[in-house]
Amino acid sequence: MPMTEADGLDGLVNLRDLGGIPLAGGETTSTGVVLRSDAPYHGDRDPELTWPPKTVVDLRDPAELNGRGHPLAAVAEVRSVPLLEDVGDGDPDDTRHALTHLYEHIVDRAPHRLVEVFRIAVEADGPVLIHCAAGKDRTGVASAMLLGAVGARPDAIVADYVRTDRNMRRVLMRLNGGSLPPGVDEEMVLQLASTPVEAIELVLSRFDQHGGAAGWLRSHGVRDEEIELWRKRFVDAG
């Protein structure tokens, strides 16, 4: 039977393990520690990764669940960290890409939420899945922080972020129940849903103002011991 456009949408389409990402010192991140993805749905098939995660960090606002429980609640500890709850509206006069100032606002206005994500990851006793709706924006910022905190190379963080571009058509189809909305300009939709490099580079530059993501975390109350524990958990010693 020939494949159809909707085939394969019965599971996560923007899932990946953040292991194997190079660090500035030559090491790599460990596999099986942090997964990032689009939102899981009830009835999804299990992915071909270590599954299920021990802990799930859901970065969506509770309203995005439409009154339904989290689909992984029966197999994992689900922690809700609504990353946009305290961000507010952007500056209407800001001419940068919309995601650039959205990411800036996340880092500047919701640092306590990012610190909460970090501490959940540090304290977890098994794989952690971090997701929002598409696994792109909120998940991208949180992933950049977790990778940066152990010294991942900036170019590698950017490369992981833009990997989502290749998955966005299927992400949008999944969000829309199996197809793109009728009558829309597909090219325009995919362009609006893209992963602009300048947006994630802005996040990294914000961290760099404190000497990197680890310094940024310290400036928001994270202790050296917590950062060291995260490094031991997330860095492959070879």
* Per-residue model confidence as pLDDT tens digits over 21-79: 999 999 999 999 999 999 999 999 999 888 999 999 999 999 999 889 999 999 999 99
126 inside domain = yes
pLDDT bucket at 172, cuts 50 / 70 / 90: confident
DSSP-derived pairing of the beta strands 128-131 and 34-37: parallel
11 inside domain = no
pLDDT bucket at 86, cuts 50 / 70 / 90: confident
9 inside domain = no
pLDDT bucket at 3, cuts 50 / 70 / 90: very low
DSSP state of 23: B
| Entry pTM | 0.91
4 inside domain = no
Closest CA to 82 of 126, 117, 33: 117
25 inside domain = yes
Model confidence pLDDT, tens digit, residues 194-230? 778 999 999 999 999 999 999 999 999 999 999 999 9
In the predicted model, what is the mean pLDDT of the chain?
Answer: 89
**Domain hosting residue 141, numbered range:** 16-233
1 inside domain = no
Which CATH number do you get for residue 190? 3.90.190.10
**What DSSP assignment string belongs to 86-147?**
TT-PPPTT--S-HHHHHHHHHHHH-HHHHHHHHHHHHH-SS-EEEE-SSSSSHHHHHHHHHH
The Cα 179–Cα 4 span in angstroms is 11
- Output the six-digit token pair for 180: 């793109």
5 inside domain = no
Phi, psi of 172 (to 5 degrees): -65, -40
95 inside domain = yes
Q: How many separate domains does the chain show?
A: 1
